[in-house]
Structure 1
Amino acid sequence: MERNEFIDALKREGYAEIASVTRDANGTVDDHVHSFEAKALILHGELMISIGAAQQIYRTGDVFHLQANVNHSERYGPEGVQYLVGRK
């Protein structure tokens, strides 16, 4: 999905806050929750999200959706990751 198309879709879906996020290569964030729902487009790099025993890897062009208050951890690829995220 293209960046502008993704932004338009976020706005239609009620995501009022849109931000660009960059994370360092090979970084991690241990288990945590967000009080907001998030939907993001990977612009560059790789992100792995773990929820319980399930792990999903997202790469450039992929979209991920995470409901509010879901306990998860994150791991970033060897090039780090940059993504565009909508929050509501």
Structure 2
Amino acid sequence: MPNSFETFKSVALAEGFDEVLERVWAPGTVLEEHTHPFAVKAKVVQGEMWLTVGGETQHIKPGELFELERGVPHAERYGPEGATYWVARLN
């Protein structure tokens, strides 16, 4: 499991992802159901989030990964400390 952003980025690019960035979310942010025009693989590095896909909610904490295919409807909710994650996108 990559422990630095640069390692996460180099592994993701080697896996075929074409964009890698860090996302920082404010405490208590809620994103209602939406989709993305890209697939994602992300690692939470600070704070916590809840990801809801198909009616099932996953609580994701630091060090944990999540993945979503392009176009999958989902909702996101961020904890009282917000959250930071590294995300690789496949456009």
Unaligned stretches of 5+ residues in structure 2: none
Aligned partner letter, 1:73 = A
Q: Distance in 1 between matches of 2:54 and 2:40?
A: 18
Q: Which residue of the partner structure matches residue 81 of structure 1?
A: 83
1:72 aligns with 2:45: no
Q: Which residue of the partner structure matches residue 17 of structure 2?
A: 15
What is the CA deviation profile of residues 28-82 of structure 1, one whole-angstrom value per residue up to 9, with x for unaligned ones?
0000000100001111010111012111111111111110000000000111000
Q: How many residues align?
A: 88
TM-score by length of 2: 0.90
The root-mean-square deviation of aligned C-alpha atoms, in Å, is 1.0
What is the CA deviation profile of residues 3-25 of structure 1, one whole-angstrom value per residue up to 9, with x for unaligned ones?
24322220111111011100111
> Aligned with 1:68: secondary structure?
coil
Q: Distance in 1 between matches of 2:60 and 2:10?
A: 21
